[in-house]
Amino acid sequence: MFTRESPSNGPNSPKVVGFYEKVTGSVQYICIDEATKKCAVIDTVLDFDPAHARTSTSSAQTALDYIEANGLTLEWILDTHPHADHLMASAWLKEQTGVQTAIGEKTRDIAKLWAEYYNLPDAFDPERDFDHLFADGDTFKIGNLDVRVMLSPGHTLGSITYIVGDAAFVHDTFMYPDSGTSRADFPGGSSKDLWDSLQAILSLPDETRLYIGHDYPPVGDREDPAWQATVAEHKANNKHLSGGVTETEYRKVRDERDATLSLPTQMMYALQVNLRGGRLLPPEDDGRQYFKIPANYF
């Protein structure tokens, strides 16, 4: 697994470790308060093989191994939204560690949408499956580090950003500057909302390090995955936003691009797991767990 460490820049600045999961292009993070050695994991991945409908935990175990090897104490298991492109490992991590999980409160609304799509009216209960549902403006701590939650809809209607000192975990809003921004065509998504979220993130101090959810190299001359760039770098170089782009211009590019995109390979599997906090549907009378996939719908 491709890994990069970003050092702390001083008081209230976290050390950030990113782990790149190649199959889905996802980046999972450990956000570390070096003063207390306490940390949070953000958007960890439950590995999934669609051909065999089989899950495994090697990516999430990599994060746990790093935490143990570096003498860290895990305080939070955080997700930014119910992911469409990978299964999330939050429930498994909680089983291993007993640590609290959290996501945004508007996950309730996303759950209502997908309960209808799957015809599973009683399957999703975010109050049951997550320990905390954060609202816009909520605050908490990782060790001594102050964390602020910012609602950042557009990719989904309930995506949130975690701002930790000079680091912000901005999930599927920005891509790396040479790739632009993320899609906004999933149910509940909106290019208008995404534009507003992007502008709110760009209003953070220029030195703020933005940590994105995905990268899909190679891009141009770049072969390796990359996931960290500052607000200033995005203002100057982001493919979709630099050069004085207007909202109308941005939304036209975004909507036209989204109309050409296929659904993520794992999407139909992922949402029914992620809206249960990373848990598969309950076993049926034969003791096995099953996925439910709507036919001829999307």
pLDDT of residue 221: 85
Of 194, 199, 191, the C-alpha closest to 257 is: 191
Contact status, residue 196 vs residue 203, Cβ threshold 8 Å: no
Q: Which two tokens stand for residue 233?
A: 């770098």
pLDDT of residue 220: 85
How far apart are alpha carbons 245 and 113 in whole angstroms? 32
For residue range 99-150, list pLDDT tens digits in order.
Answer: 999 999 999 999 999 999 999 999 999 999 999 999 999 999 999 999 999 9
For residue range 2-49, list pLDDT tens digits in order.
Answer: 999 999 999 999 999 999 999 999 999 999 999 999 999 999 999 999
* Domains along the sequence of the chain with CATH: 2-272 (3.60.15.10)
For residue range 246-270, list pLDDT tens digits in order.
Answer: 999 999 999 999 999 999 999 999 9
Q: For 80-94, what is the mean pLDDT?
A: 97
| Band of pLDDT at residue 298, cut at 50, 70 and 90 | confident
For residue range 184-235, list pLDDT tens digits in order.
Answer: 999 999 999 999 999 999 999 999 999 999 999 999 889 999 999 999 999 9
| Band of pLDDT at residue 93, cut at 50, 70 and 90 | very high
| Band of pLDDT at residue 165, cut at 50, 70 and 90 | very high
How far apart are alpha carbons 45 and 236 in whole angstroms? 31
For residue range 266-280, list pLDDT tens digits in order.
Answer: 999 999 999 999 999
Residue 121: Cβ within 10 Å count: 9
Inform me whether the pLDDT recorded for 1 exceeds 80. Answer: no
| Strand positions, DSSP E, the chain | 2-6, 15-21, 26-33, 38-42, 45-49, 54-56, 73-78, 87-88, 100-104, 132-134, 139-142, 145-151, 160-164, 167-171, 209-212, 228-230
pLDDT of residue 44: 96
Q: For 56-75, what is the mean pLDDT?
A: 98
The winner for highest mean pLDDT among 71-75, 216-220, 293-297 is 71-75
pLDDT of residue 289: 97
**Alpha helices for 13-142 (secondary structure H):** 58-69, 90-97, 107-118, 126-129
Contact status, residue 28 vs residue 93, Cβ threshold 8 Å: no
pLDDT of residue 196: 98
